[in-house]
Amino acid sequence: MSPPLFVEAGVAMAACLAGLHRDAFSGRRERAWSAAEFVGLLSSPGCFAIAARADDGDAGFALARVVLDEAELLTIGVASAHRRRGVASGLLARAMAACATRGAAMLFLEVAADNDAALGLYRASGFHVVGRRVGYFPGQSSPIDGLTMRADLVSAGGAAPDA
C-alpha cells in the first residue's frame, strides 16, 4: 500500500471531515461534529485542517488554530481501519509545521488522561504535560482529568515534512 497523501482540507471537505470525526471518535465520550460545525470552524480566523487519504479511502484528519505565536490542536482522529500505520504521526508533523509557518512558536492541546493511544502519539511527537484539569471530562464511573500538553515548534525556516 502507498503511503497516505496529506492535503490541506478547506470547507469543501467539511462533509468528509465530519465522516472521519464520526468514525474516529465512535465509542469515545466525544460526540460527532457535524459538517456545519466544520464549516464554521474552518471559516474562523487562524483555523485550518489537514486530511490524510490512503489508497483505500479517507484515513484521518487534524484541525488546528493559530493565534499570534500560539496554536491549539483542536482535534485529531484516524479512522479505525487505518490506525497504527503512522497516519496520525504524519498528520501531526504536518500540522506542527503548518502552525510554525503561520507564526506559532508553541502548540497546545487537551487530552483525556485515560486516552493511552493519544498520549503515546503526543509524547512520541514531542509534547509534554504542562497542566492538569481535575475531572474535566465526564467518565463512566468518575470524571477523567484533562491534561494540557505543549510542544515547542521548529521555526518556519526549519525542516518540515514534505506536503
Q: Are 95 and 50 in contact (CB under 8 A)?
A: yes
Task: Tell me which residue has cell 474516529.
Answer: 24
Nearer to ligand COA, 39 or 74 (CB): 74
User: Is residue 34 at the binding interface for ligand COA, with CB under 6 A as the rule?
Assistant: no
* Residue 6, burial from CB neighbour count under 10 angstroms (0-12, 13-18, 19+): buried
Q: Does 148 bind ligand COA (CB under 6 A)?
A: no
Query: From the list 22, 34, 70, 85, which residue makes contact with ligand COA (rule: CB under 6 A)?
Result: 85
For position 84 contacting ligand COA by CB under 6 A, the verdict is yes
Q: Enumerate residues 95-134 that contact ligand COA by CB under 6 A.
A: 111, 115-118, 120-121, 124
Q: Which is nearer to ligand COA, 51 or 87 (CB)?
A: 87
Which of 83, 94, 117, 104 lies closest to 150, judged by CA?
104
Shortest Å, Cβ 62 to ligand COA:
9
- Distance (Å, rounded) from C-alpha 76 to C-alpha 91? 8
